[in-house]
Amino acid sequence: AQTVTQSQPEMSVQEAETVTLSCTYDTSESDYYLFWYKQPPSRQMILVIRQEAYKQQNATENRFSVNFQKAAKSFSLKISDSQLGDAAMYFCASTTGTASKLTFGTGTRLQVTL
């Protein structure tokens, strides 16, 4: 069975600083996608960034970037210039098999302090 592991239950970062959230995954598939979703207290799941496994170039979206290490099955999220609005739960997820089903990690709660 596919697994996604987030080993950091909680992280804290000061405003304007940079933080990296870790994620490792285990898959036997050759074609898959990886995602980071943000879940604020409102519970809404918001897509932060997406990485196609066949692309070597790391994805970036404004202040958010990933470090995708395919051989190591690692997919970390870097948040630069952290803002108070970045405080949330962050979930790493990968597609599983057909129909783009997602397997999620257990999440990392990010606190942003002044």
Partner 1 sequence: NAGVTQTPKFRILKIGQSMTLQCTQDMNHNYMYWYRQDPGMGLKLIYYSVGAGITDKGEVPNGYNVSRSTTEDFPLRLELAAPSQTSVYFCASSYPNGREGRYEQYFGPGTRLTVT
- List residues near partner 1 by CB under 8 A: 4, 33, 35, 42-45, 47, 50, 91, 93, 95, 98-107
| Contact yes or no for 103/4 (Cβ under 8 A) | yes
Q: How, if at all, do strands 24-26 and 3-5 pair? A: antiparallel
Nearer to partner 1 by Cβ, of 41 and 114: the residue is 41
Nearer to partner 1 by Cβ, of 82 and 95: the residue is 95
Nearest-approach distance from CB 24 to partner 1, in angstroms: 14
Nearest-approach distance from CB 16 to partner 1, in angstroms: 29
Nearest-approach distance from CB 108 to partner 1, in angstroms: 10
